[in-house]
Chain A
């Protein structure tokens, strides 16, 4: 900021060519800051991959080498043999996909009711939904656990999936979006004798695609990265999702960072791959995640 001020306040007295060179200098400075920042963001990931390819001995060498002398892929084999990593991966995928599909369906249907159907107490019910957004998840976490325990749902998929599927946030988000869709289209459809279900499926849902995609990314990420809830409801390694499974590696290999990083790489790659494909929706979805808390 200081440099910027300095440059700008000096502009009125200097000649055009100097002004240009100042502009260039400013640009270079900006790029330097950006590149430095980007390096700080990326280096930990490079270090993670590099460590995952080292032997245990090579991780304890000073100065640390960013590129290992010899590539050692055994870590990946060892991690997947010692822990059901692929099972963790599958559980994470399954739980995240079902939660996401469930949320999209349930939230969009309720949002249709809240935005298009008229009935007594509608706004009151919606207000109650909104009020629960204020309550932090730690408040409901203990009774939810007790509920799971009495239902016999500990260490099950329904225990992992169902409690997280019902949150007011998605309903709220979609209702706001549906309210912005003009009603003329539906009115024409109703005149032609279409039912609410048809209007919902053939008019509202297609028009709300961007909002649905954003909510989908948000729910998927939320579920994929969730640690606290699986930690509470799962103790059987076979039912663990990736974050929880990863935390197990830690207890087993306190000092074998190469093995641990191999596990971390396996957990990070799928999400990074999806992220690179759907960047726009990711950024929107994550930005929304802030609003949810």
Chain B
């Protein structure tokens, strides 16, 4: 009887869990372990893989192109992150003022978020066209002779940053809006009784209480920015003169253009470690800030 009961239980659990678990092991678990193994080999998919120890990591860490790509990724983050966060917070603060038509504006700001990166990149590539693009035409109205943007090594990355800010602004804004709506009005009422100015209220109530939201936005935006790829691939393919080559673009090229599976896997694990440590660091900082607040 007991055995029969156990068998039935086992079958029920299997039915619910196994379809997911088996697929998960096969498509996620095995590839993660395999990726680590492959990163210690030399493998072009034509001949069998050759174990070469930490050679791939050595080559990558002494490779100028890798460091350049890492630098460009940081450049992207340094431009993108402050712009998207400050811009999104500003719009969220205004939308939180209980004005009429919020639903319309929120919807408008959100349209680029639901559009695919490929479509967005193509649209902006055309907008940034040096001769006939809308951006340079707009600048010319103010007597500014716009740069060649994506064809200019100095301006290609700023163009990619602007495009990315445009696409993600609505996403970050919605998260900030949710955070703002979670702040109890009683805080503001108390501050108003004490005669606090709008600026004081923002600085001493809104911003500190938004801390968890800001932390969340920073963590996910940073993780996403380290994986910047689609827009780069469509708009510049890493050019001109490698000025926009980024980490994931390196991984893609090593794996699927040069067929160096080992090298590509090694870079992807370096990317994992970078993201892992930066997230850990942020958690530390967040903890310390919360501690200070108390």
Contact = CB atoms under 8 A, between A and B. Distances in A.
Interface stretch (A69-77, A78-86, A185-193, A221-229): A221-229
Interface string A5-42: 10111001000000000000001001101100110111
A interface SS class: helix
A286 interface: yes
Interface string A229-241: 0011000000000
Nearest to B24: A166
A200 B248 CA distance: 41
Q: What is the interface residue range for chain A against chain B?
A: 35 or more
A221 B114 contact: yes
Given A119-B13, A125-B21, A143-B38, A227 B230 contact: yes
A171 B111 CA distance: 28
A293 to B, nearest CB: 5
A269 B19 CA distance: 35
Interface in B109-147: 109-119, 122-124, 126-127, 129, 131-132, 134, 137
Given A110-B20, A290-B224, A12 B195 contact: yes
Contact of B114 (A137, A162, A271, A287): A271
Contact of B21 (A1, A27, A110, A167): A110
A110 B111 contact: no
A17 to B, nearest CB: 20
A55 to B, nearest CB: 13
A228 B229 contact: yes
Interface stretch (B61-69, B151-159, B171-179, B281-289): B171-179
A117 B15 CA distance: 11
B81 interface: no
A211 interface: no
A235 to B, nearest CB: 10
A279 interface: yes
A41 B112 contact: yes
B276 A144 contact: no
B198 to A, nearest CB: 4
Contacts of A124: none
Interface in A108-127: 109-110, 112-114, 117, 119, 125
Most chain B CB within a 10 A radius of its CB, from A125, A143, A197, A224: A143
B202 interface: yes
A141 B122 contact: no
Interface residues of B, number: 91
A7 B197 CA distance: 9
Nearest to B263: A142
A109 B20 contact: yes
A45 B137 contact: no
The 8 A-B residue pairs with the shortest CB-CB distance, nearest first, are A5-B199, A110-B20, A143-B31, A225-B116, A243-B118, A8-B198, A140-B31, A113-B16
29 contacts: A1-B198, A4-B198, A34-B94, A41-B166, A44-B134, A61-B132, A109-B15, A109-B19, A110-B21, A112-B16, A125-B17, A134-B276, A136-B272, A138-B248, A138-B251, A139-B268, A140-B28, A140-B35, A142-B251, A143-B34, A145-B256, A146-B34, A166-B28, A168-B28, A231-B233, A243-B117, A247-B233, A271-B116, A275-B114
Interface of A: 1, 4-5, 7-9, 12, 27, 30-31, 33-34, 37-38, 40-45, 47-48, 51, 59-64, 106-107, 109-110, 112-114, 117, 119, 125, 128-129, 132, 134-147, 149, 162-163, 165-168, 171, 195-197, 200, 221, 224-225, 227-228, 231-232, 242-244, 246-247, 249-250, 257, 260-261, 264, 267-268, 271-272, 275-276, 279, 282-283, 286-287, 290-291, 293
